[in-house]
């Protein structure tokens, strides 16, 4: 298990994303690296690591929410026109189901904003944008590590992923730093993927050697 800690620290610092973060905000980079280590420790089921990881996540989230994406609630003239036209469609097709307080509130407010947040949420799930910050080979490591996490039901890591995805849906992510709250999670997945693949290859090679003998 110590291997995992060492490898995850190595993965955390040996990538382009780390250097971009470091060049722009040293304090944030330190916190994110610390969070990466805590996430690995919580995966290793070290006492209090999960608690500390979640506390640090709350602090990082509060810090991140300073960059709240106001465009989620910005209505452009184009949106106004589109909205007005759709109101006519809803009115024609739904009649009284639309023309009541609840219907009007849902279609004119809830639907527009929820759809924007939903789209932003899925933008965060575009793995391509993260892999550009590592390298093309990282894709394999990441997916193997993610599968390993899913199979082993590491709840803290998965809760971490869900929270960071939700928070990242509310902030500007198309910046040079990207959705950096996910940085520790990616490091964990890649470290796990690297260890799993290394073990797999080692076992495969030693099995071959023993059958040859």
Question: What is the full DSSP assignment across 87-130?
Answer: HHHHHHHHGGGTSSHHHHHIIIIIHHHHHHHHHHHHHHT-HHHH
Please say whether the beta carbons of 164 and 181 come within 8 A. Answer: yes
Please select the residue that binds other proteins; options are 126, 135, 202, 208, rule is CB under 8 A: 126
Contact flag: residue 118 with other proteins (CB under 8 A): yes
Using CB under 8 A as the binding rule, the residues of this chain from 20 to 79 that contact other proteins are none
* Tokens matching residue 125: 């799930």
Contact flag: residue 123 with other proteins (CB under 8 A): yes
Q: With contacts defined by CB under 8 A, name the span among 35-43, 49-57, 120-128, 195-203 that binds other proteins.
A: 120-128
Shortest approach of other proteins to residue 103 CB, angstroms? 11
Contact flag: residue 121 with other proteins (CB under 8 A): yes
Counts for the chain of helices (H) and strands (E), in that order:
11, 0
Angle separating helix axes 138-151 and 183-212, nearest 10 degrees: 90
Shortest approach of other proteins to residue 27 CB, angstroms? 31
Contact flag: residue 128 with other proteins (CB under 8 A): yes
CB nearer other proteins, residue 63 or residue 196: 196
* Tokens matching residue 56: 């640090």
C-alpha atoms less than 13 angstroms from C-alpha of 204 in its C-beta half-sphere: 6
How long a stretch of residues is the chain?
213
CB nearer other proteins, residue 63 or residue 127: 127
Please select the residue that binds other proteins; options are 89, 137, 200, 202, rule is CB under 8 A: 89
What gap in Å lies between CA 161 and CA 158, rounded to an integer? Answer: 5
Using CB under 8 A as the binding rule, the residues of this chain from 151 to 180 that contact other proteins are 151
CB nearer other proteins, residue 85 or residue 175: 85
Nearest to 7 by CA among 161, 190, 209, 213: 190
Residue that is written with structure tokens 């106004």 in the block: 80
What residue ranges bind other proteins (CB under 8 A)? Answer: 85-86, 88-90, 93-94, 111, 115, 118-119, 121-123, 125-128, 147, 150-151
């Amino acid at each position: 298990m110590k291997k995992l800690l060492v490898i995850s620290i190595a993965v955390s610092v040996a990538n382009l994303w780390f250097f971009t973060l470091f060049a722009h905000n040293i304090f944030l980079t330190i916190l994110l690296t610390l969070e990466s280590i805590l996430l690995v420790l919580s995966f290793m089921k070290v006492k209090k690591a999960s608690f500390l990881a979640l506390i640090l996540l709350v602090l990082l989230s509060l810090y991140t929410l300073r960059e709240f994406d106001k465009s989620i609630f910005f209505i452009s003239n184009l949106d106004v026109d589109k909205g007005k036209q759709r109101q006519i469609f809803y009115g024609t097709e739904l009649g009284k189901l639309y023309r009541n307080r609840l219907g009007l509130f849902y279609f004119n407010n809830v639907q527009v904003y929820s759809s924007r947040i939903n789209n932003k949420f899925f933008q965060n799930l575009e793995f391509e944008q993260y892999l550009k910050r590592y390298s093309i080979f990282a894709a394999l490591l990441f997916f193997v590590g993610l599968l390993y996490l899913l199979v082993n039901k590491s709840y803290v890591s998965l809760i971490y992923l869900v929270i960071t995805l939700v928070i990242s849906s509310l902030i500007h992510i198309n910046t040079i730093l990207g959705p950096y709250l996910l940085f520790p999670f990616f490091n964990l997945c890649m470290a796990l993927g690297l260890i799993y693949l290394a073990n797999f290859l080692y076992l495969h090679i030693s099995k071959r050697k023993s059958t040859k003998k």
